[in-house]
Structure 1
């Protein structure tokens, strides 16, 4: 609440959130001078203003009298006073005033201070005509989806279940179905549905029908926040009515070009809604916090700018982009159709249909032969208490699928974000098979209820090597809520973490298992086959596009074993990192029997690829797993690798479906996971309740 006090023609304004106000020392002094026009802000800090300093010479006593709506107190405390019972005055005496409710009319209340000499003779009287005005800029600071009145914590932001502070979504979807443009790229509102993507902010006022002459309300933001937010309000002709949903019904209040704008004071008891639009996600140069201010300005004199005498501030945090792990329920599956992947596509259709989910097929006119659906994009979401929608993160790889995320996914309540990088800085590690996220974990007592992002990079001590581009890493780190982990993946030709690890749901322990590719487990399996008399069993038997090889031949190839020993050492390094960073025990990890071979890549470096279809590179659809068909050695008519996988996964209650991706994906250095993508439901946990 603001308290406007007038002495004759002098007007004073006090912030009244605390309901206690110190009478300015020059307020009463002016009662005996020529009337002036002046306004100042009182801080309300006791000790700033002492009645003795404002008293006429030789004043020894004073008394106070006020109308019913005005309250006052004297500090230090003393006996009650009135014009019939003056009280002693000394240099420490302060008078604090407040009003119990807003004024209906200007100057509708008053308070008088009378000064007396030593013999209690009246020396002078100061009469304050008071006007109380409530002004509050309000947001959903308690995060319950409702904009409450004047929350005391609205001007700050705190994480945690007992935290506070408003939340803002980046308006990164598109309400324009036929002229697709990100809503952040246009500075107008074309549909009412766009308001759901914004956060409501309400200006609440209570007081006289108008402000004193020359005063005005102004909303403003800093230059630093200007690129991150826009503010709209309903236009005057539509205010108070149901909005018809056309752009003319809304006025731009704050933009990157308009840092300050006057807003109307409606008078009486009134509310005015504003709509706050986030324009960019947290990043290296933006911590996600935005402040919006409302100030009451006073005129000084003609030719001079107004000055603020009261400011109310609200703080928003922009909602982070959040990834979803394999343990969350699928919503829909995405794959590409190409001229040579009919068998793969048939297997995926059956798996998805049997699992009860929706399959979206990107046809060749759109994918232009680019089959790597996982590498082009990653699904996530953003959430505020009032709204939530999925957001696709488009990778900087920009293969022939580059138009798919924007042209086919972006739409109403389906957002889009990307990070652009120079082509010279983009490598295979920027494809999003190299971007995964763990299920929720607890590490040394610290909880990560949204899991942790996992990326692959060059080995920490490497003097050269490929890395995920810095702009993407900066973006992922800036989201804060899924603190990333960097693994060593540059030892692989393709270089993606999904080539040697994934997560599957589990009914016990932490609710999931980490699956790791393991040459050691592969050699153990093949030695067991040899010991049981199956050394002549062949891998790739029956395939015309791959020369069969026996178990004995694999075990006798010392150079091949040396290559796999190297691969195992790389995976073991990552295993230790994952155990430490995810708080895992060995019992939380399952080793899958997968062998690799080294090949010379385009950089003339020897790096690893899967020797047979890489079973860890799977798609997880609830309890059903779509696993690359490994074409392993057959024992009693059954593939020994498939049997081992079914045994390992069956113990977790998971069902294995083996999909033939050999010619259409494996021989092109990818597998089932590389060729598919899954949009999943959001976490039940609210990101703002994280203890940071």
Structure 2
């Protein structure tokens, strides 16, 4: 890019000038001319390029050029100087009769200065990329990427690396973006000149910059300190907005490491600019002034959620005094799938079994580094310390959003935070899917909502544009109580599963028609009264409650079809009934029997709450229906008994488990925005 700079010169004086290769010096010839000057001529040494705008009218190439009122001399240097003042340019002025009236002389020193980043996103810091000072989305886009350095190299007394005051390990540097200062020119700058790196006050809240300890010997130092680094000084931070950096002379490079401090949010769009300026001295009593500035732009990588269709890496469950049967079934299922299982002990969870509600797994990505990041919900139950104490570590990041305790409701638990597989909606592609949250109905005058700080954070990530569903009709209020996604071999590569009281009543009416009206739900369950199919179908109040629930789910069905571009063929209705509970004169719903939509998805294996439905010919009719529906997609069902340990406490298999999954192959920066 061209950096134009106005230069003032005077006749009968010699001006010493630094010109950065790639910049342009603009000299107004009329302002620098002596009185009565009518013509001029310009001479320069090799390596100096000059032109005049507007193009002058000359009588002949050898005659002086008429001096116009707006004639501007444009001066550029084609290569760096080997020595100070080793290039010359003179401007000679003439009178009406072409007599010499005066001469202005420039002694020029050319420098190459570039602040460089990986602007083309290929993992290499190229020299002076023309697009390094801006950001553009898409596969043909440009602009460097910055990670929030939110993992921790410490295993004891841990805290995120971006909260430490220093760099201690080589692996910590890998989480930062490399920025290179490249210079070429004389061995030293002319006296009084300086290089300064600087950021704005606003950007300083989101970024820090470190530099290599020994810029002339970086390779040998990194070889010697293979695992630990020594003395990587902090250059820019919240407290230091500008700092002088060394000019190394001749042909040299200095490495800087840029660290993200915060994710995009409602007060931060994710873009950060870092500047490098060449400062010129005026006098010993006055501050230096910038004569050249180079700028690079970074975008902070967003936090990205992973849908059920991505391959699992690790499954998390809690051990409690009463969930032995559940835990045994989960162990068997995960072992069958061949994934890792991490059991959060009673000592750690302190009786809080709802590991889905406490945290959500995601990741951050850049051309040079990628690692998982856990989002800690503001619910802060007895599992509140688990994400920080047990997950934060080397190459495993942590982020949370804090809210006022009085603002936090059940809707801030992350069973109320899901993400769809990739979809295309009205020609717009969402290759990373869309985040789904539950809120109060739009026309409700009162009701529970996910806190603003969490919603702001999710929206600010941009790459998985959120969808808000109506979930406040539920006692617990989580979207995972009535919907989930499973992989499919056809159509869009997945199916949306929705809880459906209508499908439940259809199934039970079919059972009665076939003579099984006396078949019992909950038969044989301890401390649970068995209920026949006929009793369910004949209870008009219960039917009315489920009609209400179906209307709530249908409202969400329409939203999901519209916002995810789904057809009816992309949706499967699961036979699930609900019942209403009254609390403070408000009625909200819970699943009547174990909520089969609230499942864990592990590739082609599904862990589904065992529904304890009516048995027909020795088989549970609800299980048989699930086997039929999921078997058509090539999915296998394992029914897990969570009745006493989870269902009776208003949760199910999904609520009591969590899954970390592989990242998308798609690179977020290639999104068309």
Name the TM tier (shorter chain).
over 0.9
Secondary structure of residue in 1 paired with 2:277: strand
Q: How does 1:9-24 map to 2 (within 5 A)?
A: 17-18=1-2, 24=7
Quote the residue 1:323 is aligned against: 305
Equivalent in the alignment of 2:251: 269
**Per the alignment, do residues 644 and 80 of structure 1 end up closer, same or farther by CA in structure 2, a change over 3 Å counting?**
farther
Match of 2:422 among 427, 440, 448: 440
Deviates more, 1:50-59 or 1:631-640: 50-59
* Residue from 377, 380, 395 that aligns with 2:362: 380
Match of 2:115 in 1: 137
- Aligned partners of 1:546, 1:372: CA distance in 2, in Å? 23
> 1:627-652: CA deviations, max 9, x gaps?
00111111111111011001111111
Distance verdict in 2 for CA 1:38–1:354, change over 3 Å: closer
Matched, 1:617 2:598: yes
- Does the aligned pair in 2 maintain the 1:289–1:317 contact within 8 Å? yes
Shift of 1:131: 1.1
Indicate the residue corresponding to 2:374 in structure 1.
Answer: 392
- Rounded to whole Å, the distance in 2 between the matches of 1:667 and 1:470 is 31
3-state SS of paired residue (2:211): strand
Select which of 386, 400, 404 maps to 1:422.
404
Closer, same or farther: CA 262–432 of 1 in aligned 2, 3 Å: same
Could you say if the C-alpha distance between residues 251 and 41 of structure 1 is closer, same or farther in structure 2, counting changes exceeding 3 Å? closer
Deviation at 1:113, TM superposition (A): 2.5
Go from structure 1 to structure 2 and tell me whether the alpha carbon gap of 1:397 and 1:380 turns closer, same or farther (over 3 Å shift). Answer: same
> Structure 1 residue 300: deviation in Å?
1.7
Cα–Cα, structure 1 residues 139 and 662, in superposed 2: closer, same or farther, change >3 Å?
A: same
- Tell me what 1:54 maps to: 32
Determine the C-alpha separation between the residues in 1 that align with 2:60 and 2:288: 38
Q: 1:37 to 1:679 in 2, by over 3 A?
A: same
TM-aligned CA distance change 1:528 to 1:257, over 3 Å: same
1:226 aligns with 2:209: no
**Matched ranges for 1:70-469 at <5 A:** 70-77=48-55, 85-236=63-214, 239-240=217-218, 241-243=220-222, 244=225, 246=228, 248-469=230-451
After TM superposition, the structure 1 = structure 2 runs for residues 627-638 of structure 1, keeping only pairs within 5 Å, are: 627-638=608-619
Find the aligned partners of 1:223 and 1:355 in 2 and give their Cα distance. 51
- For residues 338 and 203 of structure 1, the distance between their equivalents in structure 2, rounded to whole angstroms, comes to 56
Which residue number corresponds to residue 7 of structure 1? none
Which structure 2 residues correspond to residues 657-676 of structure 1 after superposition, within 5 A?
657-676=638-657
Partner-residue secondary structure (3-state), 2:80? coil
Structure 1 residue 196: deviation in Å? Answer: 0.9
Distance 2:478 2:336 in 1: 29
Corresponding position of 1:10: none
Q: TM-score, normalised by structure 2?
A: 0.95
Q: CA RMSD in A?
A: 2.3
Residue 533 of structure 1 deviates from its aligned partner by 0.8
Task: Name the SS for the 1:226 alignment partner.
Answer: helix
Query: What is the CA-CA distance between 1:31 and the residue it aligns to?
Result: 3.5
**Aligned position for 2:12:** 32
Q: What are the ranges of 5 or more consecutive residues in structure 2 without an aligned counterpart? A: none
Residue 297 of structure 1: how far off its partner (Å):
1.2
Q: In the TM superposition, what is the alpha-carbon distance from 1:57 to its structure 2 partner?
A: 3.6
- Unaligned ranges ≥5, structure 1: 1-16
Structure 1 23/628 Cα, relative in aligned 2: closer, same or farther at 3 Å? closer
Cα separation, 1, equivalents of 2:99 and 2:259: 63
Partner of 1:223, secondary structure, is: coil
Provide Cα deviations, 1:67-119, integer angstroms capped at 9, x if missing partner: 22222223344689999553443334433222221111111111222333444
Pair 128,305 (structure 1): closer, same or farther in 2 beyond 3 Å: closer
- In the aligned structure 2, how far is the partner of 1:628 from the partner of 1:508? 26
Q: Distance in 2 between matches of 1:419 and 1:155?
A: 31
Pick from 544, 565, 573 the counterpart of residue 591 of structure 1. 573
Deviations 1:212-258 (A, max 9, x none): 11111111111111111110001248743323265642001011111
Q: Is the 8 A contact 2:430 2:464 kept in 1?
A: yes
